[in-house]
Structure formats: structure tokens, C-alpha cells
């Protein structure tokens, strides 16, 4: 079992409390978007989702996962940056199950081995056992796509071009979808954060890596650039879903963190 390490911190450790969050997020979304909107007809191959506490970024992430469920994937591959240890390359979680307050998720060990053999993954348990960038995505998967198997891939120091090869291979299987985990700028005042984050948003909307590199400050920059590169190569379009900062919840505009979600279809 890959034990949940940030339950009770980034998200509730009670299933009832998590479900209340999801119910509120979806109710708010339904009040904003008509049920006949084209958004509810899309079947994404990948999403970008933030990884802060649910009180700050849960609504933003929830939109992406709610749309992702329409793809009815067999396998969800969650890719996030390492915040805990230095890592050269990628490490994949090789436990049988992933712990979640609403029940465990199955990890596709056979598919992980296939990826590991092909792309030379590292066997570094410390890279993932307390990694929140990937873990906070799992309760959403358990809620919206409960029958899917999951993979948790944590990357460190590597070129986005190399990660793009992994993503392209994963998406060559139509039963797979990818979740790219990232937050945006950290600890600027609201005005500066909006300026920096707008670079990220424009770059993702336009699938423009050069634009992304002109000032976007995302902790998951490697993953986002790899997804942009892959999308251009295999012909995916992008769509922005939501953007906000921590100030929306905390009302503190002096030191904010930016969050966005989007999809690739």
C-alpha cells in the first residue's frame, strides 16, 4: 500500500468531508455552466491540475477531473514534480494499492514495469512516499473514475523533451489518460502573481513553449512543457478551465500562490 501522507493536511482524512468538498465544488460549477455546454461533451486525453490544499485549489482541480471522467479511461497516470528529495529522472510507485480516505485505488504494476523497462525509471521510494503533488489528485480519481487503475510518476531533474517521450507513449494507448500536476507562481503580491501566471495561461492555451519560458513560474514546469510538446506532436488542442490564487480563499493579497486547471483533447 502506498500510504496517504498528506491526508488531514492538504485534504480531509475523512471520506465524508471529502465528499462534501466535491459536492460543493460541483454545485458551484453547475450554477456557473449550463449542463448543455460543449465542455460536457469533451473527452480529454490529459488534464493539468493544481496540488495545493483543497480549500485553495480544490475547486480548480475538481472541474478538470469532472470533465476527465467523460473519457472513461482504464488507466490514469498522474505525473508530478518531486518536492521532497532530489531525483534525476522519474520514479514510479510500485506498491499494489494507493491509500485514499474513500477507499484504495489499484496501481497497475504490470504497466509500470513496462514503462520502467522502456524509459529506465529510478527505484527511489523516498521520491514518492510523501509526495503531495501526486497524492492530492488521487481522491478526485477515486471519486470520479473509481474503476480505473492508477500510476504515480514523480520526476525530478530531467529535460522536458525526455518526459514528453514518456507521455507520448502513454497516450498512444487510447485507454490511458494523463494528469499533469502543477501550481503556478509562489509568494508574490497578487498583481505580480497575475502577471506571471498570465504567461503560463497564454502559453498553455496557445501550446507555446517559448512563451512559457518567458516568465512562467510553475513548480511543475517540466511536466507542463512536456505536455505542450506532446500535444503539438500528436494533434491535441488545449482549453483553460479555471484560474485563481490563494487570495480567493485567504483574502491575503500580499503573498499568494497561483493555481490553474486545463485540458488537452
Instruction: Name residues whose C-beta falls within 8 Å of residue 143's C-beta, 6 or more positions apart in sequence.
Output: 18, 19, 22, 65, 102
Say what the pLDDT of residue 127 is.
87
Say what the pLDDT of residue 234 is.
98
- Dist CA 206 CA 204 (whole Å): 5
20: part of which helix (H) or strand (E)? helix 15-32
- Dist CA 165 CA 243 (whole Å): 28
Say what the pLDDT of residue 35 is.
73
* DSSP letter assigned to residue 4: -
What pLDDT digit, counting tens, does each position of 238-263 carry? 999 999 999 999 999 999 999 999 99
* HSE of 175, CA atoms in CB hemisphere, 13 A: 8
Extract the C-alpha cell encoding 65. Answer: 477531473
- Dist CA 64 CA 172 (whole Å): 21
- Dist CA 119 CA 162 (whole Å): 9
44: helix, strand or coil: coil
What pLDDT digit, counting tens, does each position of 125-153 carry? 888 899 999 999 999 999 999 999 999 99
Q: How confident is the model at residue 212 (pLDDT cuts 50, 70, 90)?
A: very high
- Residue ranges and CATH numbers for the domains of the chain are 15-264 (3.40.830.10)
What pLDDT digit, counting tens, does each position of 22-65 carry? 999 999 999 988 877 889 999 999 999 999 999 999 999 999 99
Average pLDDT value for residue range 2-11: 96
What pLDDT digit, counting tens, does each position of 73-127 carry? 999 999 999 998 999 999 999 999 999 999 999 999 999 999 999 999 998 888 8
Residue 226 reports pLDDT greater than 90: yes
Q: Residue 103 region, left (φ>0) first, then alpha (ψ -120 to 50), else beta?
A: left
Amino acid at each position: 500500500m502506498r500510504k496517504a501522507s498528506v491526508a488531514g493536511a492538504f485534504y480531509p482524512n475523512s471520506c465524508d468531508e471529502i465528499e462534501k468538498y466535491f459536492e460543493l465544488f460541483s454545485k458551484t460549477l453547475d450554477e456557473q455552466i449550463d449542463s448543455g455546454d460543449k465542455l460536457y461533451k469533451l473527452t480529454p486525453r490529459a488534464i493539468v491540475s493544481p496540488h495545493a490544499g483543497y480549500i485553495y485549489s480544490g475547486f480548480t482541480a475538481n472541474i478538470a477531473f469532472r470533465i476527465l471522467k467523460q473519457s472513461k479511461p482504464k488507466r490514469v497516470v498522474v505525473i508530478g514534480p518531486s518536492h521532497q528529495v532530489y531525483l534525476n529522472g522519474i520514479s514510479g510507485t510500485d506498491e499494489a494499492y494507493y491509500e485514499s480516505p474513500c477507499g484504495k485505488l489499484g496501481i497497475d504494476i504490470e504497466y509500470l514495469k513496462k514503462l520502467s523497462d522502456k524509459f529506465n525509471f529510478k527505484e527511489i521510494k523516498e521520491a514518492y512516499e510523501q509526495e503531495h503533488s501526486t497524492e492530492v489528485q488521487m481522491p478526485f480519481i477515486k471519486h470520479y473514475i473509481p474503476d480505473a487503475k492508477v500510476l504515480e510518476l514523480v520526476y525530478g531533474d530531467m529535460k522536458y523533451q525526455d518526459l514528453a517521450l514518456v507521455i507520448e507513449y502513454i497516450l498512444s494507448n487510447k485507454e490511458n489518460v494523463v494528469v499533469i500536476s502543477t501550481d503556478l507562481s509562489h509568494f508574490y503580491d497578487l498583481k505580480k502573481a497575475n502577471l506571471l501566471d498570465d504567461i503560463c495561461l497564454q502559453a498553455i492555451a496557445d501550446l507555446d513553449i517559448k512563451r512559457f519560458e518567458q516568465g512562467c513560474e510553475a513548480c511543475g514546469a517540466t511536466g507542463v512543457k512536456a505536455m505542450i510538446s506532446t500535444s503539438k506532436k500528436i494533434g491535441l488542442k488545449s482549453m483553460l478551465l479555471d484560474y485563481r490564487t490563494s487570495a480567493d480563499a485567504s483574502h491575503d493579497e500580499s503573498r499568494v500562490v497561483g493555481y490553474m486547471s486545463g485540458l488537452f483533447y
